[in-house]
């Protein structure tokens, strides 16, 4: 979303209006310069972890404020 917000700001456009125009559907986004790298991913379960995936996800989700 930060990428889309930055693009809206560059154009001086309303974020909501730009977002709705930008995402015309899950498979219809326009070509752009968005690039995903390994740094964009967060490992939430180390390989040696023995807890269940539900426990790992619950702990991970609890790290974020719910609004």
pLDDT of 45 reads 64
- Pick the range with the lowest mean pLDDT from 14-18, 22-26, 59-63: 22-26
At a CB cut-off of 8 Å and minimum separation 6, what does 1 contact? Answer: 19
> What is the pLDDT, as a whole number, of residue 65?
73
Q: Higher confidence at residue 47 or residue 2?
A: 2
Confidence of residue 2 (pLDDT cuts 50, 70, 90): confident
Q: What pLDDT is recorded for position 11?
A: 92
pLDDT at 26: 61
pTM of the model: 0.40
Parse the chain into domains and list their residue ranges: 2-62
Q: Using CA atoms, how far apart are residues 45 and 13, in angstroms rounded to an integer?
A: 39
C-alpha dihedral, 20 to 23 to 24 to 29, nearest 10°: 150
């Amino acid at each position: 979303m930060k990428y889309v917000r930055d693009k809206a700001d560059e154009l001086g456009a309303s974020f909501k209006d730009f977002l709705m125009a930008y995402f015309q559907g899950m498979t219809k986004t326009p070509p752009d310069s968005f690039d995903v790298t390994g740094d964009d991913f967060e490992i939430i379960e180390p390989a040696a972890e023995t807890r269940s995936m539900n426990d790992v996800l619950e702990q991970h989700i609890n790290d974020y404020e719910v609004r």
